[in-house]
């Protein structure tokens, strides 16, 4: 059965995978919409790589199925993969070959890829000058960029990336994030797994949080930020300010954080809040809007400490 | 959807061409051919202190002077070729697992059966080129040695018959290549693939010797099902002129009359090939690749 919504590029339906006693993936259903960068977030061992391997047809699911580009992969896997690019965790290149020859080998798998296209993707990932060097001489960051180039050769609509920044230094991670954002701007859909909250927050439009093989929630990153929005202030008298603010009926809650007060109230009531405090001779040192963070949301959903916030 | 096979085959050849192992294996084959012609053949014949009588001296001549040198070269090439093709196969297939590049090919929409089939075709092409080149060098050595000797051994062979001999020998190498293919596909390990196929060749030689020694009806039946017994039967058809031997190389072995008919032997080897292929495809088709 194919998906009816043309805007959904990737959908998993009740996916599960059992290894003897271990249920690595449990009834996992998610949707990735066209042109979005979807972060598949979870701690190590949460089942992210297993899920991605099932999506890409490398592992047979114990239950459920996958739809890619509106095609059911149980019957149209090859067709769906021709429109998809992917990087999996770990090595996936020929160390004896140059970067250019590695791309030639991958290019052979798609009829449409020309020599000019190889040059184009090398340029895109910034490896054109080192294209004739053997892969074994490459740094980890360069290898990742080469793998990304390989996944883009056939100009796929969907790009699936499994922990693509693992092993990269901070500069390499930022560079890779920028590349992903650039790709998203060209209309590509990206599905990227990570255990790094900050990375997902900076790179993704949507996030799905997975833990112990189960998808706990799916939400857009902007909605998450809005959900945690609050007013943050520093005042002349913290104790009295708390009493005053808690008495206001439009304030849902007041918490203290490092000498500051975080007020759960509508942002448009900032002026009212200021006036209410001033009337009681409590004055503001600072008042600013505070955005919700993915870290808070992750903690709220999983009840765990985040791995790499 | 059928992927662009010629391009993928070209890519397979590129991968093999850029590795050092095929060249080392080719060198071993050339050394084997040189040892056969110059040490076993020419040096033996040229030894003035040789106690060989005229008959044996003439037989020695046949091991390195054409046309008799051809089946002799093919026979020793079959032994070394079986092992070296096994090593090449295990290495090419096994490293695709360890480098994670097998997954990479499947991620690009290649079906699993396409992947295995094109890998096999690529291996057959590389192995054929290597073995034929080594044979060519062996023939060149033979011509050089013949020129040094300056003696005729008689006998003739048509071009068609020579090609048939090469094809027969090539056919007998295939089961060993497929054995390595199956072992590596199942174990996902180059080491196990190489070790398994080499151990099989050695164990089989021991079993043939033991079963021949026992000499009972059941031991002969058991021997008849071993690949190398059938290989010997097929190679026994590589004869020039009549008689039971084409060279000294077969002296210590079974007489052709006690070997199965070459056509039957070819069927037995085909059965082995089918079993190894079925195992490879069945396992790879169902395997989780992570």
Which residues of A are less than 8 Å from B113 in CB distance? none
Across the range B81-99, mean pLDDT stands at 92
Which residues of A are less than 8 Å from B106 in CB distance? 56-58, 81
In which residue are the tokens 């997954």 written?
Answer: B103
Which residues of A are less than 8 Å from B1 in CB distance? 78-79, 82
The CA distance from B184 to the nearest CA of chain A, in Å, is: 18
Comparing A269 with B247, the larger pLDDT belongs to: A269
The CA distance from A216 to the nearest CA of chain B, in Å, is: 24
Residue A268 in tokens? 């448009």
- How many pairs of residues across A and B have Cβ atoms under 8 Å apart? 93
pLDDT bucket at A308, cuts 50 / 70 / 90: very low
CA B163/CA B168 separation, integer angstroms: 9
Which residues of A are less than 8 Å from B19 in CB distance? 96
Across the range A253-276, mean pLDDT stands at 87
Q: Which residues, in sequence order, are bridge partners of residue A257?
A: A260
Comparing B202 with A158, the larger pLDDT belongs to: A158
- Among the partner-chain residues B15, B109, B290, the one whose CB lies closest to the CB of A58 is B290
- Among the partner-chain residues B7, B109, B290, the one whose CB lies closest to the CB of A81 is B109
Q: What is the pLDDT of residues A203-227, one digit of tens each?
A: 899 999 999 999 998 988 888 777 7
Q: What is the pLDDT of residues B10-33, one digit of tens each?
A: 888 888 888 899 999 999 999 999
Highest mean pLDDT among A196-200, B79-83, B87-91: B87-91
- Among the partner-chain residues B11, B19, B286, the one whose CB lies closest to the CB of A105 is B11
CB contact (8 A) between residue B18 and residue A106: no
- Which of these ranges, A127-131, A266-270, A290-294, B64-68, has the smallest mean pLDDT? A290-294
CB contact (8 A) between residue A58 and residue B106: yes
Q: Output the pLDDT for position B251.
A: 39
Cβ B159 vs Cβ B86: under 8 Å: no
CB contact (8 A) between residue B8 and residue A96: no
B247 pLDDT more than 60: no
Q: Output the pLDDT for position A304.
A: 61
CB contact (8 A) between residue A92 and residue B105: no
Query: Reduced to 3 states, what is the DSSP secondary structure of residue A35?
Result: coil
Q: Output the pLDDT for position A8.
A: 93
Across the range A225-237, mean pLDDT stands at 84
CB contact (8 A) between residue B290 and residue A93: no
Which residues of B are less than 8 Å from A56 in CB distance? 106-107
Residues of A with CB under 8 A from a CB of B: 49-50, 53, 56-60, 77-82, 84, 86, 88, 90-97, 101, 104-111, 150, 154
Q: What is the pLDDT of residues A2-21, one digit of tens each?
A: 556 888 999 999 999 999 88
Q: Please give the residue of chain B at the shortest CA–CA distance from A55.
A: B107
Q: Output the pLDDT for position A10.
A: 96
DSSP category for residue B260 = P
pLDDT bucket at A64, cuts 50 / 70 / 90: very high
CA B270/CA B272 separation, integer angstroms: 5
Q: Please give the residue of chain A at the shortest CA–CA distance from B95.
A: A94
b/e per residue B33-51 (b: at least 16 CB within 10 A): beebbbebbbebbeeeeee
Walk across the sheet containing A230-235 and list its strands: A253-257, A260-264, A230-235, A284-290
Which residues of B are less than 8 Å from A81 in CB distance? 106-109
CB contact (8 A) between residue A154 and residue B106: no
Q: What is the pLDDT of residues A25-34, one digit of tens each?
A: 999 999 999 9
Mean pLDDT of chain A: 88
CB atoms < 10 A from the CB of A30, how many? Answer: 19
Across the range A233-241, mean pLDDT stands at 90
Which residues of B are less than 8 Å from A101 in CB distance? 14, 18
B92 pLDDT more than 60: yes
Q: What is the pLDDT of residues B189-215, one digit of tens each?
A: 999 999 999 999 889 889 988 888 887
Q: Output the pLDDT for position B1.
A: 46
Q: What is the largest CA-CA distance in chain A?
A: 75
ipTM above 0.90, yes or no: no
CA A75/CA A64 separation, integer angstroms: 14
Q: Output the pLDDT for position A3.
A: 53
Q: What is the pTM of this model?
A: 0.82
Helix (H) or strand (E) holding A284: strand A284-290
Residues of B with CB under 8 A from a CB of A: 1, 3-4, 7-8, 10-11, 14-15, 18-19, 99-101, 103-111, 286, 288-290
């Amino acid at each position: 059965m194919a998906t009816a919504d043309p805007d959904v590029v990737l959908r998993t339906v009740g996916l599960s995978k059992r290894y003897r006693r271990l249920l690595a993936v449990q009834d996992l259903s998610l949707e990735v919409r066209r042109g979005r960068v979807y972060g598949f977030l979870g701690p190590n061992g949460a089942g992210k790589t297993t899920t991605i391997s099932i999506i890409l047809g490398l592992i047979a699911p114990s239950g459920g199925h996958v739809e890619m580009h509106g095609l059911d992969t149980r019957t149209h896997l090859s067709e769906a993969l021709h429109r998809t690019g992917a990087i999996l965790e770990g090595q996936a290149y020929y160390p004896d070959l140059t970067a250019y020859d590695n791309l030639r080998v991958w290019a052979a798998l798609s009829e449409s890829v020309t020599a000019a296209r190889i040059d184009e993707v090398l340029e895109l990932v910034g490896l054109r000058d080192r294209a004739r060097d053997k892969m074994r001489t490459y740094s980890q960051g360069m290898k990742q960029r080469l793998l990304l180039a390989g996944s883009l050769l056939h100009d796929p609509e969907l790009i699936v990336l499994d922990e693509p920044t693992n092993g990269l230094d901070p500069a390499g991670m930022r560079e890779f994030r920028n590349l992903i954002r650039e790709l998203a701007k060209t209309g590509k859909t990206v599905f990227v797994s990570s255990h790094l909250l900050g990375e997902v927050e900076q790179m993704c439009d949507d996030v799905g949080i997975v833990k112990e093989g189960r998808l706990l929630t799916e939400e857009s990153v902007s909605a998450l930020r809005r959900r945690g929005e609050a007013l943050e202030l520093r005042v002349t008298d913290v104790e009295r300010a708390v009493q005053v603010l808690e008495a206001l009926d439009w304030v849902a809650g007041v918490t203290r954080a490092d000498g500051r007060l975080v007020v759960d109230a509508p942002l448009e009531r900032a002026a009212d809040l200021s006036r209410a405090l001033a009337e009681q001779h409590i004055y503001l040192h600072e008042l600013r809007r505070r955005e919700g963070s993915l870290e808070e949301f992750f903690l709220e959903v999983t009840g765990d400490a985040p791995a790499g916030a | 959807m059928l992927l662009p096979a010629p391009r993928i085959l070209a890519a397979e050849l590129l991968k093999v061409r850029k590795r050092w192992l095929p060249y080392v294996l080719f060198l071993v084959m050339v050394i084997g051919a040189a040892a056969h012609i110059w040490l076993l053949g020419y040096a033996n014949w040229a030894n003035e202190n040789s106690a060989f009588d005229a008959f044996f001296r003439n037989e020695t001549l046949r091991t390195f002077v054409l046309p008799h040198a051809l089946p002799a070269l093919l026979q020793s090439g079959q032994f070394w070729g079986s092992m070296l093709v096994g090593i090449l196969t295990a290495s090419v297939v096994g490293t695709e697992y360890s480098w994670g590049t097998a997954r990479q090919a499947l991620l690009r929409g290649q079906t699993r059966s396409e992947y295995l089939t094109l890998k096999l075709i690529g291996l057959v092409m590389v192995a054929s080129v290597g073995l034929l080149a080594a044979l060519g060098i062996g023939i060149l050595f033979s011509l050089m040695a013949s020129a040094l000797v300056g003696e005729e051994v008689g006998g003739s062979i048509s071009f068609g018959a020579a090609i048939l001999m090469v094809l027969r020998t090539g056919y007998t190498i295939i089961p060993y290549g497929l054995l390595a293919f199956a072992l590596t596909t199942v174990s996902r390990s180059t080491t196990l693939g190489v070790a398994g196929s080499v151990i099989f060749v050695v164990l089989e030689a021991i079993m043939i010797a033991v079963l021949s020694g026992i000499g009972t009806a059941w031991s002969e039946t058991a021997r008849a099902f071993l690949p190398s017994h059938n290989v010997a039967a097929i190679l026994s058809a590589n004869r020039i002129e009549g008689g039971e031997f084409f060279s000294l190389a077969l002296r210590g072995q079974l007489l052709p009359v006690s070997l199965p008919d070459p056509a039957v032997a070819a069927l037995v080897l085909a059965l082995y090939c089918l079993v190894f292929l079925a195992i490879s495809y069945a396992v790879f088709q169902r395997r989780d690749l992570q």
